[in-house]
Amino acid sequence: MTEYVPKVWQELTNHYQEIQPDLRLRTYIQSYWFSYTRANQEPARIIPDLCSDLIIQLSPALEILSIELCGPSTAFFYSYAEKELLHLGIRFHLGGMYPFINHSFKEMKNQLRPLAEVEKALAKELAVQLSGKTTVAELILELNQHFLKLLNRVDRQISAPIPLFIHDYSAYRSYDMLLANTLISERSLQRLFKEEIGLTPYEVFDVLRFQKVYQEILMNPQIKQLDLVEKYAFFDQSHYSKKMKKMTGLTPQKINKHVGIIQDKSMTLDYTKEKTREGEVK
């Protein structure tokens, strides 16, 4: 489960940061993330990543405003705030939240729900434990300690075929080949996936393929679309374009252009910071 590392949509204005969890939690939690949102700023584009999140909304003074469960998404959506907010998220690997939530994930796809509606006890515990903290570092420390305690009480685990499905994707890029190499029937696989992560096997395949393509574009914004069509077994360029539009809301050309601009700006910022450090040393 921990071999797959998704990428979020890159924006220089998001004030977004990822923080590694305690080593003992990394089988379940991919990262903690922290972001600052100004009042009425441009909506943040959220792309599918095969993860489920617990999202804690905070005031600038770190007062707990809400705790929500965000299920796995199969298409892009926007996040928007009308006032200044801080968000602290717990991003779970695919299926990583299942052991901590005593609830079926069948209705969690593309859903954002108050945690108290799904797991009232956990919502109450987190609200109590996180209240009164004055820094993000204190909040992260408390989250590590709390989930380590919960880990001692966990009495169920994600079913083995689910992480194996993700692991085998690298060897079998076609959905039919992946199914042919599973140890259980497609019907049984469908049942496990819907219950434990809220997605069908094909939906997982679809998002996983998108993430792989997106990561290739991040590494090389000039990469040819036809090369990606062939490498990732899309039917044709039209099929590839429709999938990328569903996952990001943008055409492939606009995705590549956006990533290229972000990389150019990042390189400029890194160069400026390096020159500034050199000047300080001199």
Q: What is the CATH number of domain 161-258?
A: 1.10.10.60
Record the pTM. Answer: 0.89
Rg (CA), the chain: 20
Instruction: Take residue 60 and report the two structure tokens written for it.
Output: 């600038």
- Residue 70: closest CA among 128, 8, 125: 8
In three-state form (DSSP H/G/I as H, E/B as E, the rest C), the secondary structure along 81-137 is CCCCEEEEEEEECCCCCHHHCCCCCCCCCCCEEEHHHHCHHHHHHHHHHHCCCCCHH
The pLDDT assigned to 280 comes to 53
The pLDDT assigned to 183 comes to 82
Q: What is the pLDDT of residues 148-164, one digit of tens each?
A: 999 999 989 999 999 89
Q: What is the pLDDT of residues 51-95, one digit of tens each?
A: 999 999 999 999 999 999 999 999 999 988 888 999 999 999 999
Write the Ramachandran bin of 15: left for phi over 0, alpha for psi from -120 to 50, otherwise beta. left
Q: What is the pLDDT of residues 88-135, one digit of tens each?
A: 999 999 999 999 998 999 999 999 999 999 999 999 999 999 999 999
The pLDDT assigned to 268 comes to 45
| Residue 147: partners with Cβ closer than 8 Å, 6 or more residues away | 21, 22, 25, 28, 29, 90, 100
The pLDDT assigned to 275 comes to 44
- Residue 13 pLDDT grade (very low, low, confident, very high; cuts 50, 70, 90): low
Q: Which residue has the higher pLDDT, 82 or 247?
A: 247
- Residue 39 pLDDT grade (very low, low, confident, very high; cuts 50, 70, 90): confident
The pLDDT assigned to 279 comes to 52
Name the least confident of 7-16, 44-53, 137-146, 191-200: 7-16
- Residue 1 pLDDT grade (very low, low, confident, very high; cuts 50, 70, 90): very low
The pLDDT assigned to 4 comes to 82
